[in-house]
Amino acid sequence: MTMMANHFQNGIETAKLVWSRIPNSESEEPQDSEDTVGFLKKSDGSGVESLDYEVIENYAYREEQALRGKLYVGYLLVVKWFFALLIGIGTGIAAVFINISVENFAGWKFSLTFHIIQKSYIAGFLVYVLINLVLVLSSVYIITQFAPAAAGSGIPEIKGYLNGVDIYGILLLRTLIGKIFGSIGSVGGGLALGKEGPLVHTGACIASLLGQGGSTKYKLNSRWFQVFKSDRDQRDLVTCGCAAGVAAAFRAPVGGVLFALEEVTSWWRSQLMWRVFFTSAVVAVVVRTAMGWCKSGKCGHFGSGGFVIWDISGGQEDYSFAELLPMAVIGVIGGLLGALFNQLTLYVSSWRRNHLHKKGGRVKIIEACLVSLLTSVISFGLPLLRKCSPCPESDPHSDSTIECPRPPGMYGNYVNFFCSKDKEYNDLATIFFNTQDDAIRNLFSAKTIHEYSPQSLLTFLVMFYTLAVLTFGTAVPAGQFVPGIMIGSTYGRLVGMFVVKYYGKLNIEEGTYALLGAASFLGGSMRMTVSLCVIMVEITNNLQLLPLIMLVLLISKAVGDAFNEGLYEEQARLKGIPLLESRPKYEMRNMTAKEACGSRRVVSLPRVVKVADVASILRSNDHNGFPVIDHTRNGESLVIGLVLRSHLLVILQSKVDFQHIPIPGDTRGVTNPIRHRSDEFTKPVSSKGICIDDIHLSSDDLEMYIDLAPFLNPSPYIVPEDMSLTKVYNLFRQLGLRHLFVVPRPSRVLGLITRKDLLIEDTKNENAIPLQLTSTMSL
């Protein structure tokens, strides 16, 4: 109990640390700062709002359910599948737009730079730096001035939302706009980050906006889509959006489903899996259609690049048992470098938060521009330190169509960057002067042995690793999938060079080891296994490498877990998002439910309460749930349910349920009919909802009364006071609860339900049902 009280006190002290406000173009909403967007105020979760995933079975809900027939239930099912279709189409279109834009900006940038450096190196350098700077400046300006919640990858925030944490601003329309256009600027500007993580957030925003019927603030809403308003339904839609984002980013529909299941969701059911799978399949169709359309040359510079698809099916076909040792070494390296990356990004992000970003949005803009300038100088200057290499002689027996050197402004291997002779290329420029997708394709490529020197790969590894650490945490949309693949494929190819030289076998391809290195770094950093394995197989189109990918993923995850947690978990903790992990802490085994309650006083309400008392209680504390107490004829106190703060605010605002006398009404709603629909009590997604200060009550209103019986949840979840906290934790997380009553041990048992009592046939054996249920009454 003392430990819980100390945690609570620490949360109060942490709440006093308020972040600097971001300058916002919308002056009428000064609350949209990083105090409430992206970063939560209290690091222990004591000041965090939760989502109401539990169904509140009050009288309004039961009345609506009684009026709904099978036809309406079928209608809701059809609408859910229709929404899944729209989410897939919307996310696919957003991904196509982002990819085409990034590819065109990058294509124009490289073509213009290569054209200018033929005449003047200095002029080409200045143009290259200026284009990158403009793109990054546009991205960071959008984030700081328009959509603060769009910064970063968004995956920790979405993971927190699906875990039950209500984070303001992450699913707004302007967040979606900022995510799309911010990703185009930051990725097109050549920063060491990717667009795959932001696509997950983009898909979640699209799903949420569809579920809300659009945006009411910008007058872009439709009542036809406002069918699912509850947090429970919104959670299912956002889950579909997350899977759609991964499917769109990697063209990996099955990987998208598994990513949603393994990484972001805390609650899952088979019906949801079918809709998520359907959404991912729709995304795959949309993306494939767009790629086929772009191959005809209608998308500008958009060609074979853009979408993450690295076909290495023509690479190494088999492997020997002796190769498993260096492959295991790749897994160990990935675990070590991944854990180091997580720790370094945590330190840098903490320093940014506590020192740099407190100075306002202008400092964030300057910081992002300086990082862009540093990245441009390194990517343009380092290749000059490497000597050009002669092109390899073409093998007449090989079916390789790789041209050396490649034509200026085209994609591919063997970049001629400031080389004096025609048949020469710069191996370091081959990595730097490409979009990340094409650079990875070059590192994965087969039949290009000796294309890179070990010195160039090691130089790129050190510099890009450092840039990725510095860039992660800046005020731009930033994903870590593709940078992680870049880092891993670099040291993987280095190990592949050693294996080729040591074993001397002709069938060994360096590109295969680059793929395994990419998988190992992602496993060591993000700690994903099943979903990452499937994604890597889908994007490389090589099923034969599946056992090897599984091997390096298991090793890298085990090594990384020995040092710290995954990247998203570390970032969520830094942002104050209180995730309930799948496994409870070890200390909970020796604690009980009563000890976890701490010293916080339970604020309860009588069934018939005075309006003045309700307003006073809501102003004096920030509790979100209040037990409702009634009295029997014998005067014994009886807990009849739980009423939510949001429900009380709706009742106070509408005033239609006020009554003049403190007498309970008819619980069946005959004398006091229910004047509200159940969806009126739902709070808009990613919104603050109603505040007690927004409600104006006259002196006459304060003297009236409210009967809370029609609005409370009469069947909240209840546990005995001596239940172990481990068991309470598992129950709370698996059911997606917000409140859990702790009560003394009950005095008697009314009955006992077993599995057979829940196996009720539809209409075949109706007479047997009451007999089964009453057979336990003798207990």
Query: Tens of pLDDT along 591-619?
Result: 999 888 877 788 999 999 999 999 999 99
Q: What does pLDDT average to over the chain? A: 82
Share of the chain above pLDDT 90, in %: 36
Task: Check whether 13 has a pLDDT greater than 90.
Answer: no
Q: 317 falls in which pLDDT band (50, 70, 90)?
A: low
For the residues 370-398, what does the mean pLDDT come to?
80
Least confidently predicted of 58-62, 479-483, 572-576, 762-766: 762-766
Query: 144 or 104: whose pLDDT is higher?
Result: 144
Is there a contact between 570 and 564 (Cβ–Cβ < 8 Å)?
Answer: yes
For the residues 33-48, what does the mean pLDDT come to?
47
Q: 37 falls in which pLDDT band (50, 70, 90)?
A: very low
Q: 374 falls in which pLDDT band (50, 70, 90)?
A: very high
Least confidently predicted of 143-152, 403-412, 649-658: 403-412
Task: Check whether 192 has a pLDDT greater than 50.
Answer: yes
Measured CA to CA, the distance from residue 147 to residue 176 in angstroms comes to 8
**Conformation bin of residue 650: beta by default, left when phi > 0, alpha when psi is -120 to 50:** alpha
> Which residues, at least 6 apart from 700, have a Cβ–Cβ distance to it below 8 Å?
none
Task: Check whether 263 has a pLDDT greater than 80.
Answer: yes
Measured CA to CA, the distance from residue 307 to residue 438 in angstroms comes to 10
Task: Check whether 764 has a pLDDT greater than 60.
Answer: no
For the residues 156-173, what does the mean pLDDT come to?
89
Give 453-479 pLDDT, tens digit per residue: 889 899 999 999 999 999 998 999 998
Q: Residue type at 687?
A: S
Give Cα 239 distance to the centre of its chain. 9
Is there a contact between 160 and 576 (Cβ–Cβ < 8 Å)?
Answer: no
β-strand partners of 166? 49
What's the pLDDT at 224?
65
Q: 50 falls in which pLDDT band (50, 70, 90)?
A: confident
Measured CA to CA, the distance from residue 145 to residue 25 in angstroms comes to 6
Least confidently predicted of 176-180, 227-231, 725-729, 759-763: 759-763
Side-chain-side CA neighbours of residue 224 (13 Å): 3
What's the pLDDT at 301?
64
Q: Which of 627, 648, 625 is nearest to 638 (CA)?
A: 627
Task: Check whether 408 has a pLDDT greater than 60.
Answer: no
Task: Check whether 547 has a pLDDT greater than 80.
Answer: yes
Task: Check whether 285 has a pLDDT greater than 90.
Answer: yes
C-beta neighbour count of 760 within 10 angstroms: 13
SS3 683: coil
Residue 318: exposed, middle, or buried by beta-carbon count in 10 A (0-12, 13-18, 19+)? Answer: exposed
Q: Which helix (H) or strand (E) holds 170?
A: none
What's the pLDDT at 312?
63
For the residues 434-448, what does the mean pLDDT come to?
79
Side-chain-side CA neighbours of residue 419 (13 Å): 24
Query: Could you give the maximum distance between any two Cα atoms of the chain, in Å?
Result: 102
Q: Which of 648, 579, 717, 647 is nearest to 230 (CA)?
A: 647
Task: Check whether 15 has a pLDDT greater than 70.
Answer: no
Least confidently predicted of 27-36, 518-527, 621-630: 27-36
Task: Check whether 414 has a pLDDT greater than 80.
Answer: no
Task: Check whether 309 has a pLDDT greater than 70.
Answer: no
What's the pLDDT at 409?
53
For the residues 191-219, what does the mean pLDDT come to?
85
Mode of pairing for the β-strands spanning 741-743 and 718-720: parallel
Q: 45 falls in which pLDDT band (50, 70, 90)?
A: very low
What's the pLDDT at 182?
95
Task: Check whether 34 has a pLDDT greater than 60.
Answer: no
Give 568-587 pLDDT, tens digit per residue: 999 999 888 988 888 888 88
Q: What is the 3-state secondary structure (H, E, C) of 721-765?
A: CCCEHHHHHHHHHHHCCCCCEEECCCCCCCCCCCHHHHCCCCCCC
What's the pLDDT at 72?
82
Phi and psi torsions of 629, nearest 5°: -110, 135
C-beta neighbour count of 22 within 10 angstroms: 21
Least confidently predicted of 382-391, 701-710, 747-756: 382-391
What's the pLDDT at 314?
59
Is there a contact between 507 and 520 (Cβ–Cβ < 8 Å)?
Answer: no
Query: 32 or 150: whose pLDDT is higher?
Result: 150
DSSP annotation of 354 reads I
What's the pLDDT at 370?
95
What's the pLDDT at 490?
94
What's the pLDDT at 2?
44
What's the pLDDT at 622?
84
Query: 28 or 653: whose pLDDT is higher?
Result: 653
Task: Check whether 410 has a pLDDT greater than 60.
Answer: no
Side-chain-side CA neighbours of residue 284 (13 Å): 19
Measured CA to CA, the distance from residue 458 to residue 493 in angstroms comes to 10
DSSP annotation of 435 reads -
Task: Check whether 7 has a pLDDT greater than 80.
Answer: no
Task: Check whether 445 has a pLDDT greater than 70.
Answer: yes
Is there a contact between 544 and 357 (Cβ–Cβ < 8 Å)?
Answer: no
Task: Check whether 30 has a pLDDT greater than 70.
Answer: no
Share of the chain above pLDDT 70, in %: 82
Give 325-358 pLDDT, tens digit per residue: 999 999 999 999 999 999 999 999 999 988 888 8
What's the pLDDT at 673?
57
Q: Residue type at 437?
A: D
Integer-rounded Cα Rg, in Å, for the chain is 29
Task: Check whether 398 has a pLDDT greater than 70.
Answer: no
Measured CA to CA, the distance from residue 388 to residue 384 in angstroms comes to 9
What's the pLDDT at 610?
93
